[in-house]
Amino acid sequence: MAQYPWETSYPVGVKWELDVPKKTIHQIFEESCVQYGNRPFTDFLDKIMTFADYREASDHAAAGFQKLGVGPGVNVGLYLPNTPHYLIAFFGILKAGGRVVNYSPLDAARELEFKIGDSETDILVTLDVLALYPKMAAMRGKTRLKKLIVGSIADYLPWPKSWLYPLAKKKEISPWPRDEWHMSFKDLLDNNGTYLAHPVEGDLWDEVALLQYTGGTTGLPKAAMLTHGCVVAAMAQGQAWTAPNTVAGTEKVVCVLPLFHIYALSGIMLGAVKNGNQLILYPRPDIDMIVKDLATKKPTFLPGVPTLYTAILKHPKAQGLDLKALKICMSGGAPLPVEVQQSFEKLTGATLIEGYGLTETSPTGAICPIDKSVRRIGSCGVPMPGTIIEVRDMDNPDRVLPPGKANVGEVCIIGPQVMKGYWKKPDETALVLFDHPGSKWKGLRTGDMGYMDEGGWLYLVDRSKDLIISSGYNVYPRMIEEAVYEHPSVEECIVIGIPHEHRHEAPKVFVKLKPGTSLTFDEMIAHLKDKIGKHEMPVALEIRAELPKTPVGKLSKKELKEEERAKAQKTDKPKAA
């Protein structure tokens, strides 16, 4: 008999009870390397590397990191796109006993500076490309960063691409000095591969493996402490859910989503590790290359965000290609439009399912069954195995609301994948984590609004109050507002998300100017260029004589959101014939 209502919607062969192995992430990696040895693990621009190749390279990375002082309690940064360097360094850091800190290549200089100090990063790995190296090199002397390890894409390209790359991409490569502050990635690996496996007192399973930054909805970014146990639980959940529809050791998985993001890191990369599958790595989202590879390399699993599926549908060559090798496509990061889902399934014959989660849940929470016959339009799915999802009263957080569309409340996720807390922020941790009387695992107050139906299907009404989801990335208005406020003409500022054709949502800035001053959209963008990331850049500016305020005098976004929503609805109305 089912313990929870959502179990009746589970795929055949999938149970809610979950066996989470008490192992570290790198232990599972080692086991897969032994089991799948010579099976291809990555295809990077046609360079094939096996599980055995990565086992050997990560051993050398672990030894190299230990020579630099990496061990328990030491945090090492990764500032990388999707290249073999990321995987090798990731497992090398964990084997050495350290923690991984993920840095986004989209971060502006001030965000990088903050994260280096906040996470206590002294060693960081990057590439010699103009989009990355100069920004991190600028941190020298301004931050605590003591060693910058620099790789090249040419390190892991097949011949003759490895020889031609420095010539063909000369304008995209950044020179760097050979001095005591720098180290090449090749030199990091130049050792005999012998490292000391660090036993840690207590439960290693509960030790922090990742510091994964998330902005929340207010204030500066904060790092979710994801333990080995959190991530291993997420790996087990993903394996349990897809097992009836996949064959371990045979699948090919598209990895175009950035590995610095928890969705790609946990759900894609580590999912492939757990199941012995091959990753097709893309250093950037080249839609022409992706469409070509869908037809020629025949991947079977395509995880993405809605904008990826829209781009494939719009690509001129997609309609004429045989894409029937695809089995499962997984959408996350932003709501999936029904028309995109249906059109993509018609094009490929694959099942496109939607999921919901957060950085704080490693990132799994809810997911749709792969069986289309049980799909419920508008729902982001049912709780993952081992997971309880409750909708709680916003005014009384201890009260669980009954099922029903009228009972909208805060979505709370309880399960083994929930983070340990926020790094060095006990007060903020206490606001979101709670003990659950019916589970041994912690519960997380997500800040997202939704409701459940009688069958345990979750429907999201709105994301966290101020959060903007732009092209699948979290954009936090507070960060943009603080940067806008630095312009000398700005007296008051509000940033909200507005509908956007390509990005789903994008930031719009409302400003009240100081008397006698002016500000154009182009001037604002120029001002923001070195202060926020490209994904955070506003698409519109509106100057107002006054900005709305609450009765107590606080700036209010509610009225502006309602105005923009009304504009969007008016625009979407069908025109009379």
pLDDT at 553: 54
Three-class DSSP category at 337: coil
User: Residue 356's closest CA among 335, 327, 338?
Assistant: 335
231, 209 Cβ separation under 8 angstroms? yes
State the chain's maximal CA–CA distance in angstroms. Answer: 75
238, 11 Cβ separation under 8 angstroms? no
The residue range of the domain holding 96 is 50-206
CA-to-CA separations, 221 to 135, 218, 372, in angstroms, rounded: 19, 8, 38
pLDDT at 481: 87
> Which has more confidence, 382 or 107?
382
**Residue-wise pLDDT tens digits, 206-241:** 999 999 998 644 457 899 999 999 999 999 999 999
The answer to the question of residue 327 being in a domain is no
Alpha-helix residue ranges (DSSP H) falling in 349-399: none
Confidence category of residue 200, pLDDT binned at 50, 70, 90: low
pLDDT at 546: 92
Q: Rounded distance, CA 558 to CA 539, Å?
A: 20
> Which has more confidence, 550 or 364?
364
**Residue-wise pLDDT tens digits, 99-121:** 999 999 888 888 999 999 999 99
Angle between helices 84-96 and 51-67 (to 10 degrees): 60
The answer to the question of residue 65 being in a domain is yes
321-335, 409-423, 512-526: which range is least confident on average?
321-335
CATH number of residue 138's parent domain: 3.40.50.980
279, 268 Cβ separation under 8 angstroms? yes
Through-space distance between the first and last CA atoms of the chain, rounded to whole angstroms: 56
Confidence category of residue 575, pLDDT binned at 50, 70, 90: very low
- Residue given tokens 């729902």 in the structure block: 379
What is the mean pLDDT of the segment spanning 371-392?
93
End position of a domain, from candidates 143, 171, 206: 206
Residue 571 burial (CB < 10 Å; 0-12/13-18/19+)?
A: exposed
User: Residue 362's closest CA among 231, 206, 228?
Assistant: 231
End position of a domain, from candidates 171, 206, 241: 206
Q: Write out the two tokens for 12.
A: 């055949």
CATH number of residue 533's parent domain: 3.30.300.30
End position of a domain, from candidates 158, 178, 206: 206
The proportion of the chain whose per-residue pLDDT surpasses 90, expressed as a percent, equals 71
Domain count, the chain: 2
What is the mean pLDDT of the segment spanning 485-511?
91
Q: Rounded distance, CA 394 to CA 391, Å?
A: 9
